[in-house]
């Protein structure tokens, strides 16, 4: 069954990734700069757009803000944890992964995929149960990053942590009241960051196997940040430390 991607930027990224099998464009869509960009990438990918009634776009968009554009795409590649580690090693880079423990909101997963792409993460790891998969809402929220960032679904996040530790990847978790502040901790080198749900944090079975905890200072009345915001802060602290040449862990 084809995968639905809706919205101009997500569809452009799917075209760039050569995943689009069929492209639908609403007859009522104005051919502005954004739509011209979609058409340009469609031509480059050898995909012929189909002009269809607006109602057809609505039926296929799965409730996502589609901007008059929907694509039917081939299913995403499935990745194993070892394959993602191999990607990092093939680039001669220390592995960098983001593990999500109980993140159920598809908008958060989409935003985290966008952060992961921007910060150079090699993959995002999610449990097969109790978390959102890569849905049309995720693709839209990621602004197309879902087409580029490998997503690994695992049966057990605890087992994933243990696998990474055996591969000499340092595993840290975000925790509200434990560990050093994020700017005090060394976030360079082979690293996996575990991000928990906003309500419950990182689960105990996963937390007990992490190598360290890191926290973000909060100076107001709110006691936690949105998980995608917290992920961005930690990921870009790693980017900053790498740019400054901080010695790797």
User: In this structure, what CATH number is given to the domain that contains residue 45?
Assistant: 3.30.1330.30
- From the first residue on, what is the mean pLDDT of each consecutive set of 10 residues in the chain (249 residues)? 84 90 89 90 93 89 86 85 96 97 90 96 88 75 87 95 97 91 96 89 94 94 89 98 86
Number of Cα atoms under 13 Å in the Cβ half of residue 247: 1
For residue 23, what are its two tokens?
Answer: 């492209």
- Position 130 scores a pLDDT of 54
Residues 184 and 237 in one domain: yes
Asked whether residue 56 is domain-assigned, the answer is yes
Residues 17 and 53 in one domain: yes
Residues 86 and 209 in one domain: yes
Residues 206 and 162 in one domain: yes
Would you list the DSSP string of 13-64? HHHHTT-EEEEEEETT----HHHHHHHHHHHHHT--EEEE-HHHHHHHTTTS
**Rounded (10°) CA dihedral 9, 15, 21, 27:** 50
Residues 42 and 96 in one domain: no
Asked whether residue 225 is domain-assigned, the answer is yes
- Position 156 scores a pLDDT of 94
pTM: 0.85
d(CA 107, CA 84): 23
Residues 87 and 183 in one domain: yes
Total structural domains in the chain? 2
Asked whether residue 11 is domain-assigned, the answer is yes
Residues 69 and 90 in one domain: no
Residues 68 and 144 in one domain: no
Residues 102 and 188 in one domain: yes
Asked whether residue 235 is domain-assigned, the answer is yes
CATH code for position 111? 3.40.1280.10
d(CA 120, CA 207): 24
End residue of a domain, out of 27, 48, 73 = 73
In terms of residues, how long is the chain?
Answer: 249
- Position 132 scores a pLDDT of 61
Residue 75's alpha-carbon distances to 18, 120, 147, 221, in angstroms, are 12, 23, 10, 43
Residues 9 and 108 in one domain: no
Residues 97 and 62 in one domain: no
The SS3 call for residue 119 is helix
Residues 49 and 26 in one domain: yes
Write out pLDDT tens, residues 40-56.
999 999 999 999 998 89
**Full domain range(s) for residue 32:** 3-73
Asked whether residue 15 is domain-assigned, the answer is yes
């Amino acid at each position: 069954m084809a995968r639905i991607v809706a919205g101009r930027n997500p569809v452009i990224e799917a075209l760039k990734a050569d995943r689009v099998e069929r492209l639908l464009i609403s007859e009522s869509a104005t051919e502005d700069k954004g739509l011209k960009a979609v058409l340009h990438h469609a031509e480059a990918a050898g995909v012929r757009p189909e002009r269809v009634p607006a109602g057809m776009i609505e039926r296929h968009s799965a409730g996502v803000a589609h901007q008059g554009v929907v694509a039917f795409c081939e299913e995403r590649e499935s990745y194993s944890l070892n394959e993602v580690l191999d990607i990092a090693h093939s680039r001669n880079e220390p592995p960098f992964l983001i593990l999500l423990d109980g993140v159920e909101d598809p908008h958060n997963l989409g935003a985290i995929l966008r952060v992961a792409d921007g910060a150079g993460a090699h993959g995002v790891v999610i449990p097969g149960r109790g978390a959102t998969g890569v849905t049309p809402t995720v693709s839209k929220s990621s602004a197309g990053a879902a087409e580029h960032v490998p997503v690994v679904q695992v049966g057990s996040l605890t087992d994933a942590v243990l696998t990474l530790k055996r591969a000499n990847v340092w595993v840290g978790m975000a925790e509200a009241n434990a560990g050093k502040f994020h700017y005090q901790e060394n976030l360079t080198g082979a690293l996996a960051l575990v991000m928990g749900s906003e309500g419950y944090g990182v689960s105990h079975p996963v937390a007990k196997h992490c190598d360290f905890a890191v926290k973000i200072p909060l100076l107001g009345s709110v006691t936690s940040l949105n998980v995608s915001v917290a992920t961005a802060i930690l990921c870009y602290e790693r980017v900053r430390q790498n740019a400054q040449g901080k010695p790797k862990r």
